Amino acid sequence: MKIVPTRIGVPFLSRKRDNQQDAATREAIRKTASSTSDPAATTDSEAPTVVPKSSSLFVSLPRDMFRKPAPSQLVQESTTNSSQTATPVIVQTRRPWRKLLYIKQDYADDYVDDTFLIELQKNTNVRMYDYSTVVLQTTVVTQHLSSIMVFLAVFINLSNDSLTGEVLICGSTILTMVGFGFWDLLNYSLRTPEQRLKRWNLIKGAVFFTLLLFGLSPILRTLTEDTSNDTIWAMTTMLFFCNLAFHDYSAGNLTNIRFPGSVSLNAAVLASVLLASRLDKNMSVFAFLSFALEWFALFPIMRRYLKRISTKASTIITLVLALLAWVLFLYISHAVAMIHVLGTLFITFGCPLWLIWIQRYKNEIHGPWDEARPIVHRYFH
Amino acid sequence: MGRRPLNICMVSDFFYPNMGGVESHLYNNSQCLIQRGHKVVIVTHAYGKRRGVRYLAGGLKVYYLPAFVVYSNASLPTFFCTFPIFRQIFIREQIDIVHGHQAFSAFCQEAILHARSMGLKTVFTDHSLLGFADASGILLNKLLKFTLSDVHHAICVSHTSKENTVLRAALDPQQVSVVPNAIIAEQFEPDPDARDPQWITIVVLSRLVYRKGIDLLVAAVPRICQMYPRVRFVIGGDGPKRIDLEQMRERYMLQDRVELLGSVQAVDVRSVLVRGDIFLNTSLTEAFCIAIVEAASCGLLVVSTKVGGVPEVLPRHMITFAIPEEDEIVEALRHAIGRVGDRPNHPELSPKRFHAQVKKMYSWYDVAERTEKVYYQIADMPELPLIERFRRYYGCGLVAGKLFCLVAAVDFLIGVVLQWLWPRENIEVARPFPQETYHALVKENRRTANGELGAL
């Protein structure tokens, strides 16, 4: 449906007609009105005329659908009987219909007035998207997709021994240290509540956790060892899709992981444990799992910080991640690398176009029947 | 047009002992229709121990059917499972018109579907407003579209509700009538002696839930109490937001000026209302709002949020409107408090006058008369062939249309099977309620009661 700025109904039509009536008729109306209507109606001087809101987006509905032949405003019953006495014209009038329940109106209960649905508003608070903004917003998705690809590449390199566990531990530890320093500095400058966290406690916790993971890695390695490869690959794929779907892409949440995000993290950890059972050295398992936790639990937090402080930094890290994934997969499979590039391009440039194009089918209806939002200012202050 | 008496079956999940607008509409409308010579049967689901067939005053027969209640007294939608029992009732009671109430009621939707499969005339009344944005709204609207695409006539309680229903169910607006709710004005007479002249009392009577705008109330009460030392609040009703009100009362030390009554029985509503000068309604959505009519009938000035059908209900000299915003509510209340002082000098603002005006505006007899008009309008309509019904269902949507056709077809076939299992001829017809004997007995009882009183 096209969005055409048309009004439905003519709100003041009936009034104009009133003005055209001559004075005598109006006098007659007043008489009949005052004699027939109840006191409630006469004291009610302000007629609640319905004025359309100053929005250009009104509905285009087939008007005939809602129109009944308009009741004649002026029914003249001239009693010209055979005696040819010049009987004065008896004027009977109908007062215009009003959207009220407390007065008895001269209209049937199923009468449809011209003002029917006049307060209907369509697509009033639809935001029209700007292409470049949407393109920039997609970076969070491509970032996460690329990070999963990088993670998979690391696993493949580990399992075919082109990367040793020790190197991975060193690399990931250095990256984590750098990230931690960056996080600490940022918290200090942004004055986020996290700066209240005790650094010492944090480091103590990290060391304890690493040692625990190190002790548990032989168990984790053999946990799903008996499961066949096919099952592992299938489940891992499913879990990573789950991770991608439930990941918390918003930039606002910097401290804790809430409901849909937690599903995503759990899926990633489970997938990593499943993959770890395909590795043959305890050291590799430990390195891989600690890397997985850093990559899926801590790295997204850093990406959120980056997105908050600068769009440029966020764009750069997106590019770096996408290129890294591409290069790593170039050594593994050209097809996957190609699909990744095409997918990333599609998400970044194709999907925004799609979204903007599909906006034309937006059909949002508002009217007086909507549940109002209460506006409270000084509540509990 | 033959003015023969009709046999009407009202169906809704919501009936007494449950309390609310739908329930009182059903009961009072049925009573008035019985007085107009029709036979009315109400079908609802069992409420706890209240199950089976019961007679209420005036020979109003109520079937409390066994059903699994899922959420806030609405029964579980089963599509076809209720067909046998509804068919038995419709045939037993020789029903001409099936009148369903309230879209949330699965019973109402199913009864209309089965009634159509049996070739009966159907009417639907919508009592509430529903938006288009949330998931429940979208689902329910689709279902409503299905039910209403083959209903003969729909009734709404206000013009706003009519607009809403027409949009939700994609109906022809000429198939929808507006028949407002009403009150029994005699039960809501003002009582000037019940007021405490020391105070200006603001009464609130509503369920204490989010949809009734209790957040606005919580914000406005302390501000009004601070501005006017002679104003106090009487708040009746219960619900999850009661805690907020209690916290507010503690925080601002208003224990002596804000009275929380808890839930108020229907019979006590008037005694609470007549204590007040101003009635405050802060609802966020309302199709009609019987509460403000009751309050105006008791002679109170009304302050209300301007939502849904509320602007249509009362004339401007009885009501002050506010948009649902804290400052506006406070401003409207200040305006109303100012008017309380004016009342003795203005005869047109006197409580007696209010009562007389409301009594003229709303009456259940009028409602029943207008409902009856709808019934006679559809009673003699020719029955549409099955294929035409399918054509209507098919138009409901790309996927939904086909699904609806399937449901309707299966329902029709079940009807054929039921006719084979329990032929219509073998179902015993219920005996008509002996109205003459009943009224004679009532009169007798009243006379003896009066006689006894006289003897005393």
Q: What is the ipTM of this complex?
A: 0.83
Closest-approach residue (CA) in chain A for B217: A376
B90 and B118 housed in the same domain:
yes
Is B451 a domain residue? Answer: no
Residues B215 and B328 in one domain: yes
Of B105 and A66, more confident: B105
**pLDDT at residue B151, rounded to an integer:** 92
**pLDDT at residue B222 tops 90:** yes
Question: According to the model, what pLDDT value does residue A122 have?
Answer: 83
Q: In the structure, what pLDDT confidence band is assigned to residue A195 with cuts at 50, 70 and 90?
A: low
Q: How far is A64 from chain B (nearest CA, A)?
A: 11
Is B302 domain-assigned? yes
- Going by pLDDT thresholds of 50, 70 and 90, the confidence category of residue B216 is very high
Q: In whole angstroms, give the CA distance from residue B32 to residue B364.
A: 7
> Which of B161, B215, B370 lies closest to A109 in CB terms?
B370
Closest CB to A101: pick one of B174, B213, B312.
B312
Q: How far is A155 from A163, CA to CA, in rounded Å?
A: 9
Per-residue pLDDT at A7 exceeds 70: no
A365 touches chain B (CB under 8 A): yes
Cα–chain center distance at A291: 33
B251 and B302, same domain (yes or no): yes
Of A48, A112, A375, the CB nearest to B311: A48
Judge contact between B108 and B12, C-beta under 8 A: yes
The CATH number assigned to the domain holding B351 equals: 3.40.50.2000
Closest-CA distance, B296 to chain A, in angstroms, reads: 12
Q: Is the pLDDT of residue B274 over 60?
A: yes
Amino acid at A245: A
Q: Of A75 and B249, which is predicted with more confidence?
A: B249
**pLDDT at site B413:** 95
Domain that holds residue B345: 185-361
Residues B119 and B240 in one domain: no
**Are B326 and A66 inside 8 Å of each other by CB?**
no
Question: pLDDT at residue B455 above 50?
Answer: yes
Handedness of CA B415, B419, B424, B426 (dihedral sign): negative
Query: Tokens in use for A303?
Result: 């990406």
- Whether B416 and B301 map to the same domain: the answer is no
Whether the predicted pLDDT of A84 surpasses 60: no
Q: How far apart are CA B169 and CA A43, in angstroms?
A: 37
DSSP character string of B410-446: HHHHHHHHHHHHS-GGGSPPPPPP-HHHHHHHHHHHH
Distance CA A380, CA B322 (A): 22
Backbone angles phi, psi at B321, to 5 degrees: -100, 155
Residue positions counted in chain B: 456
Q: What is the pLDDT of residues B20-69, one digit of tens each?
A: 888 999 999 999 999 999 999 999 999 988 999 999 988 899 999 998 88
pLDDT of residue A88: 53
Report how far residue B126's alpha carbon sits from residue B181's, in angstroms, rounded to the nearest whole number: 11
A62 touches chain B (CB under 8 A): no
Interface of A with B in 86-125 (CB under 8 A): 99-103, 108-110, 112, 116-117, 119-120
Strands (E), B189-289: 200-205, 231-236, 258-262, 278-281
Same domain, B371 and B287: no
Say whether B305 sits in a helix, a strand or coil.
strand
Same domain, yes or no, for B31 and B131? Answer: yes
Minimum distance, in Å, between the CA of residue A268 and any CA atom of chain B: 30
* pLDDT band of A200, cuts 50, 70, 90: confident
Instruction: Give the rounded percent of residues in chain B with a pLDDT score beyond 70.
Output: 98
| CB < 8 Å to A116, chain B | 163, 173
Task: Report the interhelical angle of A311-330 vs A299-309 (nearest 10°).
Answer: 140
pLDDT of residue A198: 66
Domain end marker among B304, B338, B361? B361
Q: What is the pLDDT of residues B78-115, one digit of tens each?
A: 889 999 999 999 999 999 999 999 988 889 999 999 99
How many helices (H) and strands (E) chain A has is answered by: 15, 4
Contact B15, B60 (CB under 8 A): no
**CA-based nearest distance A123→chain B, Å:** 12
Instruction: Tell me which chain A residue has its CA closest to the CA of residue B213.
Output: A374
Structure confidence at residue A318 (pLDDT): 94
Nearest to A101 among B172, B313, B316 (CB): B313
**Predicted local confidence at residue A92, as pLDDT:** 62
Contact of A264 with A248, CB cutoff 8 Å:
yes
Nearest to B202 by CA among B228, B184, B182, B183: B228
Backbone angles phi, psi at B376, to 5 degrees: -65, -30
Do residue A100 and residue B312 have CB atoms under 8 angstroms apart?
yes
Which structure tokens are listed for B26?
């059903």
- Closest Cβ opposite residue B216 in set A102, A112, A376: A376
- Please give the single-letter amino acid code of residue B109: Q
Closest CA to A301 of A257, A271, A264, A262: A257
Give one DSSP letter per residue of A201-261, joined into a string.
Answer: HHHHHHHHHHHHHHHHHHHHHHHTTTS-HHHHHHHHHHHHHHHHHH----SS--S---HHH
Q: What percent of chain A has pLDDT over 70?
A: 71
Place of tokens 């990230």: A179
Structural domain count of chain B: 2
pLDDT at A255: 66
Q: Determine which of B223-237, B266-280, B339-353 has the lowest per-residue pLDDT on average.
A: B339-353
- How far out from the chain centre does Cα A246 lie? 14
Report pLDDT digits (tens) over A334-350.
999 999 999 999 999 99
Q: Is the dihedral of CA B249, B255, B257, B259 positive or negative?
A: positive
Tell me whether residue B435 is in a domain.
no
Rounded mean pLDDT of chain B? 91
- In this structure, what token pair is assigned to residue A377? 């200012």
pTM above 0.90, yes or no: no
Question: For A83-112, what is the mean pLDDT?
Answer: 76
Domain range summary for chain A, segments of one domain joined by +? 13-122, 132-361
**Interface contact A101-B175, CB threshold 8 A:** no
Position A50 confidence tier, pLDDT thresholds 50, 70, 90? very low
Does residue B83 sit within a domain? yes
Are residues A8 and A61 in contact, defined by beta-carbon separation less than 8 angstroms? yes
pLDDT at residue A126 tops 90: no
Q: Looking at the structure, do residues B349 and B283 belong to the same domain, yes or no?
A: yes
Length of chain A: 381
* Structure token pair of residue A3: 């969005």
Report the first-to-last Cα separation within chain B, whole angstroms: 53
pLDDT at residue A358 greater than cutoff 50? yes
For an interface test with B, which of A66, A68, A110 has the most B Cβ atoms less than 10 Å from its Cβ?
A110
Q: Point out the residue among A38, A40, A66 whose CB comes nearest to the CB of B173.
A: A66
Tell me which chain B residue has its CA closest to the CA of residue A39: B357
Contacts of B180 in chain A (CB under 8 A): 101
Q: Please check whether residues B251 and B157 belong to one and the same domain.
A: no
**Residue B56: its H or E element:** strand B52-56
Model confidence at A364, in pLDDT bands (50, 70, 90)?
confident
Using a CB–CB cutoff of 8 Å, tell me whether A378 touches chain B: yes
Angle between helix B214-227 and B326-342 (nearest 10): 50
Identify the pLDDT of residue A14: 36
Residues B13 and B157 in one domain: yes
Residues in chain B within 8 Å Cβ distance of A371: 129, 131, 211, 284-285, 307
Task: Please report which confidence band the pLDDT of residue A369 belongs to, taking 50, 70 and 90 as the band edges.
Answer: confident
State the nearest Cα–Cα gap between B313 and chain A, in angstroms: 5
Domain presence at residue B440: no
Classify residue B241 by its DSSP letter. Answer: T
Q: Are residues B301 and B377 in the same domain?
A: no
Distance (Å) from the alpha carbon of A319 to chain B's nearest alpha carbon: 38
Give the model's pLDDT for residue B369. 94
Q: How confident is the model at residue A90 (pLDDT cuts 50, 70, 90)?
A: low
B339 and B391 share one domain:
no
How far is A76 from A91, CA to CA, in rounded Å? Answer: 5
Residues in chain B within 8 Å Cβ distance of A109 = 177-179, 370, 373-374
